Amino acid sequence: MFESHWAHRVPGDLNRESEKGESRTLATKIEVLAELQRVDQSLRENTIAVQSREARVTELEKSLTERRAEANTAREGLNALTVRQRDLEEKVAAIEHKMKDRRMRLTRIRNDKELGVAKREMEILKDESSTLETELLELMQRVEEATKRVQDFEAGLSTLGAELESEATALKETRKRVGGQIVQDQARRDDLVGGVEESLRRRYEMIFSRRGGLAVAAVRDGTCRGCHMNLPPQLFNQIQRNVDEIFLCPSCQRLLYWRPEEDDADE
Ligand SMILES: [Zn+2]
């Protein structure tokens, strides 16, 4: 193996496999990693698509549960007010009945003293009735408001329910659309990973997760396409001469992937 002390050549066993002359000879290590990255990017994109839909459904389910509880509280409040309204209406009716009865009696009273007592009783009943009427009017106003609130909650619940239903359908469709692709990618990934030594795979995965899903960066015109920095010419020469070895970008630490045909096509 060409021994270089170039600082950006990956140290240790990352480059060892090619020396052993193992079966995988069609692709260089970096080509396998570039392919692995294409698979991983597809997996990542599809997984995020499903997860974001799932998150949206969960969020809607949570608000629906909360809104339902609020709607129930509003309904209970309305029921309690309605019970009170009926109770008051009965009281008002009872007083009206009593007043009617007293009015009938008044016509039969002969004696002044009894008349005075009966008239005072009527005054008291009138006061009581007027207090109850005022209370009833107030209560009816509150019942009206509470009814409106319950209606608003119900309208909100129905909108939210429809939204949840359409999100759940979208999730189902997304799962159906990308599910097969995910299984396929996973199988392809297992296959590719089998040809990459453990330490190199770990390094690749670490960079992939820390560098926004881009671990293998193309080199074009002597520039790293991961971070757009110019590579030192000496490193670029080494990459061109040692296609079987793995080199890291000195500024972003990504694994560098140079292919002459792509470099030319780009110009
Ligand atoms: Zn870079």
Give per-residue pLDDT as tens, 241-250.
988 899 999 9
Evaluate whether residue 227 is within a structural domain: no
* pTM of the shown model: 0.69
Domain with residue 117: its CATH number is: 1.10.287.1490
For position 67, what pLDDT does the model report?
Answer: 96
CA 213 – ligand 1 centroid, Å: 14
pLDDT at residue 170 greater than cutoff 60: yes
Evaluate whether residue 192 is within a structural domain: no
CA 154 – ligand 1 centroid, Å: 56
Sign of torsion over alpha carbons 11, 16, 17, 18: positive
* Closest-CA residue to 142 (of 199, 80, 226, 65): 80
**Contact between 81 and 143 (Cβ < 8 Å):** yes
CA 256 – ligand 1 centroid, Å: 8
Evaluate whether residue 164 is within a structural domain: yes
CA 2 – ligand 1 centroid, Å: 24
CA 253 – ligand 1 centroid, Å: 6
Evaluate whether residue 251 is within a structural domain: no
For position 7, what pLDDT does the model report?
Answer: 45
205-217 mean pLDDT: 96
For position 261, what pLDDT does the model report?
Answer: 77
CA 224 – ligand 1 centroid, Å: 5
Evaluate whether residue 40 is within a structural domain: no
pLDDT at residue 8 greater than cutoff 60: no
161-177 mean pLDDT: 96
For the chain, the domain total comes to 1
* Closest-CA residue to 89 (of 52, 127, 140, 158): 140
CA angle centred on 26, ends 21 and 31, rounded to 5°: 105
Average pLDDT, the chain: 89
CA 38 – ligand 1 centroid, Å: 18
For position 211, what pLDDT does the model report?
Answer: 94
pLDDT at residue 6 greater than cutoff 90: no
Query: In DSSP terms, which residues pair with 257 in a beta bridge?
Result: 218
**Contact between 169 and 40 (Cβ < 8 Å):** no
For position 183, what pLDDT does the model report?
Answer: 95
For position 110, what pLDDT does the model report?
Answer: 86
Evaluate whether residue 151 is within a structural domain: yes
Q: Which domain holds residue 142?
A: 50-177
219-235 mean pLDDT: 96
Q: Model confidence over 39-96: pLDDT tens digits?
A: 999 999 999 999 999 999 999 999 999 999 999 999 999 999 999 999 999 999 999 9
CA 32 – ligand 1 centroid, Å: 19
pLDDT at residue 228 greater than cutoff 60: yes
Evaluate whether residue 137 is within a structural domain: yes
CA angle centred on 228, ends 223 and 229, rounded to 5°: 65
172-196 mean pLDDT: 94
For position 265, what pLDDT does the model report?
Answer: 55
pLDDT at residue 2 greater than cutoff 80: no
104-129 mean pLDDT: 90
- Looking at the chain, the whole-number percentage of residues with pLDDT higher than 90 is 78
CA 215 – ligand 1 centroid, Å: 10
Evaluate whether residue 245 is within a structural domain: no
Q: Model confidence over 15-39: pLDDT tens digits?
A: 544 444 444 445 789 999 999 999 9
CA 254 – ligand 1 centroid, Å: 6
- Looking at the chain, the whole-number percentage of residues with pLDDT higher than 70 is 89
Type of residue numbered 238: Q
Q: Model confidence over 63-74: pLDDT tens digits?
A: 999 999 999 999
